[in-house]
Amino acid sequence: MTPAAAALQAPDTQGNILTVEHLTMRFGGLIAIDDISFEAKDKEITAIIGPNGAGKTTVFNCLTGFYKPSVGRLTLHHPVKGNFLLEQMEGFRIPQNASVARTFQNIRLFSSMSVLENLVVAQHNALMQASAFTFAGLFGLKRYQDAEKEAVERAKYWLDRVRLTDRADWEAGNLPYGAQRRLEIARAMCTDPVLLCLDEPAAGLNPRESAELNDLLIFIRDEHDIGLLLIEHDMSVVMGISDHIVVLDYGRKISDGSPQDVRNDPAVIRAYLGEEEDEDLPPEVVKDLEQDKERHSGKDGEGED
C-alpha cells in the first residue's frame, strides 16, 4: 500500500466526521465558494450560517455530489469503513458507500407515494443488495425477506419519531408543510447515515414546530451518534442546538467557533447587521447583537479613558 493510500485508510483521530479543505466552486465568472476550510466533528451539530447567497447550499451540493468542486478536498471519515474523498466519488455512491444523507432547501419527496412508501423506497439500496440484484433473489431469498422486514421496521421506527405513524398511508404531497419537512428527515435517517446534512429544515415552521425540530435533531445526535451539518436561518434553532458554527459571507468563511464565539464576532455582526441583512434574524437576536455591540463599544471607550 502506498503511504497516501494508507493515510486514506487511517481513521481520523481528532473525532472529525468531515474535513473540508480549500473548497472552491466557480460557476463561469462567479465564485460561489472561495477557498473554504472547516471541520465537523462526529456526534456534534455543526451549523453553517450566513446571509442569502453566501454559498451554504453550494457547500452541500459539493459534499453530496450534485456539483464537482473546482478545487478542494472533502474527506468523510467513516467510523467503520475508513476515509472517502467525496469530491472524487460519483454522486450516487456518496449516500450508498460513504453514508452521507441530505434534505433539500425545497422539499423533495415522492409526493404521490404514501408516507410509508417514501421511507421504504429510501432503503432501496439495502434491499437490492439483499436480493443479490437478481429477480430470483427478490422472491426466493430469505435474506431479502429479512431485509424487507427490517426496512419496514426501520420505517415504522422513524414514523414514530417524527409523529407520522397515524398518517403512514397519506400521500406525502397532501401532508401539511411542517410534516413534510419531518418526513424528509425521517427518509434521510432511513438510509442509516453517518453524516446528515439538513438544508434549512426549520424554514416555514411555526415556533412550536421549530422547538420540536430542535428536540428531534438533538435526539438524532445523541441517540444515533452521528454528525449533523445544519444550514439554518432560524437563529433560535442555530443558537439553541449547535455545538459549532461556521459562518459564510459572499462565498468566504468569516467565522468559525462555538455559538458564543460566533455571536460576539464583529465580522459576523457586520455581515448580519450591515446593509439590510437584519431581516435574516429574528428581532430578539438583532436586539441581543446590538446590545453586545454597544457593550463592546462601551468597553473600548472605557479603555481609552
* Segment lying near Mg ion (by CB under 5 A), choices 32-40, 105-113, 125-133, 148-156: 105-113
Residue given cell 425521517 in the structure block: 186
Residue given cell 472524487 in the structure block: 88
Min dist CB 57 to Mg ion, Å, is 3
Helix (H, G, I), strand (E, B) or coil at 174: helix
Min dist CB 48 to ligand ATP, Å, is 8
DSSP state of 279: G
Nearer to ligand ATP, 56 or 181 (CB): 56
Give the binding site for ligand ATP (CB under 6 A): 27, 30, 32, 50, 52-58, 105
CB 49 within 8 A of CB 233: yes
Q: Which residues does 152 contact at the CB level (< 8 Å), separation at least 6?
A: 116, 120
Which residue's C-beta sits nearest to Mg ion? 57
* Segment lying near Mg ion (by CB under 5 A), choices 1-9, 17-25, 104-112, 259-267: 104-112
- What, of Mg ion, ligand ATP, none, does residue 27 touch, CB below 5 to 8 Å by kind? ligand ATP
d(C-alpha 249, C-alpha 223), whole Å: 33
- What, of ligand ATP, Mg ion, none, does residue 236 touch, CB below 5 to 8 Å by kind? none
CB 256 within 8 A of CB 247: yes
Nearer to ligand ATP, 95 or 251 (CB): 251
- What, of Mg ion, ligand ATP, none, does residue 69 touch, CB below 5 to 8 Å by kind? none
The only residue of 18, 36, 57, 59 in contact with Mg ion, by rule CB under 5 A: 57
- 85 φ/ψ angles, rounded to the nearest 5 degrees: -90, 100
Q: What's the gap between Cα 173 and its chain centre? A: 23
* Segment lying near Mg ion (by CB under 5 A), choices 15-23, 54-62, 95-103, 115-123: 54-62
- What, of Mg ion, ligand ATP, none, does residue 118 touch, CB below 5 to 8 Å by kind? none
d(C-alpha 96, C-alpha 87), whole Å: 15
CB 42 within 8 A of CB 238: no
User: Which residues of the shown chain bind Mg ion in the complex (CB under 5 A)?
Assistant: 57, 105
